[in-house]
Structure 1
Amino acid sequence: MSPGRHLATLTLLVLGMMAVPAHAATIQIVMENLVISPAEASAKVGDTIEWVNNDIFAHTATAMNGDFDVTIAPKKTATSVLSKPGTVEYYCRYHPNMKAVLTIAP
């Protein structure tokens, strides 16, 4: 192999390593005693939200802008993957006093 070819191969290898995407995170949001915790959370597009319902009745995570609407059965967990950036206010349709905010970075 010529020296120029080694340099080209090395350059492609380095660029390929830089292009590896970061791993998505899982953010846990808990609903318990008619409270969403944390009330303010941050995530990135591609992250997974793990909705945990520790109560004895169903809850929802319903975005006020229509971005998501997840129903979580009593004592169960549901997941959703974030696909769009923005600040999303959401609440439980069954218990409208349960409110929170999710800030999603690109």
Structure 2
Amino acid sequence: MQPGRLRLIAGVLSLAAMAVPAHAATITIVMENLVVSPAEATAKAGDTIEWVNKDVVAHTATAKNGDFDVMIPPKKTVTYVLKKTGTVDYYCRFHPNMKAMLKIDGRASP
């Protein structure tokens, strides 16, 4: 292969690598024995929250600011992709003593 062609291929591969967005994370939050754990979590916009309900009753993850209201059936897992930055307090509408907070930062540039 000619040296010029190798440089071209290497350049194209470098540009392609820079164009790949940063991978979003998945943050797992467990609801068990009427407790949300962890009660505080940090994430970035674009990350996925995975709520795992280990209880035999349904729960919700209801943001006080209206950003989301997710129903989590008993013994099920539900996911939600975070869209906005900021601090979001949320609770279970069925069990208001179940409270938690998400701190959502902006997505870092690749």
Gaps of 5+ in 1: none
Q: CA deviation at 1:25?
A: 1.0
2:47 paired residue number = 47
Please state whether the residue corresponding to 1:75 is helix, strand or coil: coil
Gaps of 5+ in 2: none
Please state whether the residue corresponding to 1:14 is helix, strand or coil: helix
TM-score by length of 1: 0.86
Q: CA deviation at 1:14?
A: 3.0
Question: Is residue 2:93 matched to residue 1:97?
Answer: no
Please state whether the residue corresponding to 1:18 is helix, strand or coil: helix
Whole-Å separation in 2 of the counterparts to 1:82 and 1:70: 12
Task: Give RMSD over aligned pairs.
Answer: 1.9
- How many matched pairs? 105
TM-score by length of 2: 0.83
Whole-Å separation in 2 of the counterparts to 1:47 and 1:100: 17
Whole-Å separation in 1 of the counterparts to 2:47 and 2:74: 24
1:38 paired residue number = 38
What pairs with 1:1-106 in structure 2 (closer than 5 Å)? Answer: 13-106=13-106
Whole-Å separation in 2 of the counterparts to 1:48 and 1:82: 6
Please list the CA deviations of residues 30-86 of structure 1 after superposition, one character each: whole Å capped at 9, or x if unmatched: 000110000000111111111110011010000000000001011111111111111
Aligned residues with identical type, % of pairs? 69
Whole-Å separation in 2 of the counterparts to 1:69 and 1:105: 20
